Amino acid sequence: MKILNLNEGSFPIEMNLNLNSIDIPDIGTLKDTLDVELKISKLSLNLFKCDGYIYAKFIDTCQNCLRDTEVLVDGSVDITIKDIKELHLDSSEQDQTHYQDLEYFNIDNLIEEELALIYPDIVKCDRSCLEKEDALMDEKNLPFKKIRDLID
15 binds Zn ion (CB under 5 A): no
Q: Which residue in the set 52, 64, 79, 111 belongs to the binding site for Zn ion (CB under 5 A)?
A: 64
Pick 68 or 103: Cβ nearer Zn ion: 68
Q: Which residue in the set 15, 17, 27, 129 belongs to the binding site for Zn ion (CB under 5 A)?
A: 129
| Residue count, binding to Zn ion (CB under 5 A) | 5
Give the E-state strand segments of the chain in sequence order: 3-4, 13-19, 29-44, 47-61, 68-83, 97-100, 105-106
Q: Which residue in the set 62, 106, 109, 112 belongs to the binding site for Zn ion (CB under 5 A)?
A: 62
What residues does 113 pair with on adjacent strands? none
Pick 69 or 100: Cβ nearer Zn ion: 69
Angle at 30 between CA 29 and CA 31, to 5 degrees: 115
What residues does 38 pair with on adjacent strands? 15, 52
Q: Give the 3-state secondary structure of residue 10.
A: coil
17 binds Zn ion (CB under 5 A): no
